[in-house]
Amino acid sequence: MRVSARNQLKGKVLSVERGPIHSKVKIDIGGGNQVTSVISTEAVDDLKLAVGSACVAVIKASSVMVGVDH
């Protein structure tokens, strides 16, 4: 797979919460860290995502927001 995004995190699917239009996919990226993505349910089916599937979280953003608690 070749994509322009440089932020690529390899992992395994922890869970898939299917919805009629969108589904929530949780990915274990190691070190006790997880990434959650909301993608179309059609994409979940096309990619054949299931618990335990190997996958890559590809992150492409034009900005990153940072917040702190005071």
Q: For 33-66, how does the pLDDT look when each residue is reduced to its tens digit (9 = 90+)? A: 999 999 999 999 999 999 999 999 998 877 778 8
Percent of the chain with pLDDT over 90: 74
Distances, alpha carbon 6 to alpha carbons 20, 27, 47, 55, 65, in Å: 31, 18, 21, 15, 18
Q: What is the pLDDT of residue 6?
A: 83
pLDDT classification of 15: cutoffs 50, 70, 90? very high
Examine the pLDDT at 25 and tell me if it is beyond 90.
Answer: yes
For residue 38, give the DSSP letter.
Answer: E
pTM over the 0.85 mark:
no
Q: What is the pLDDT of residue 11?
A: 96
- Please check whether the domain covering 7-57 is classified as CATH 2.40.50.100: yes
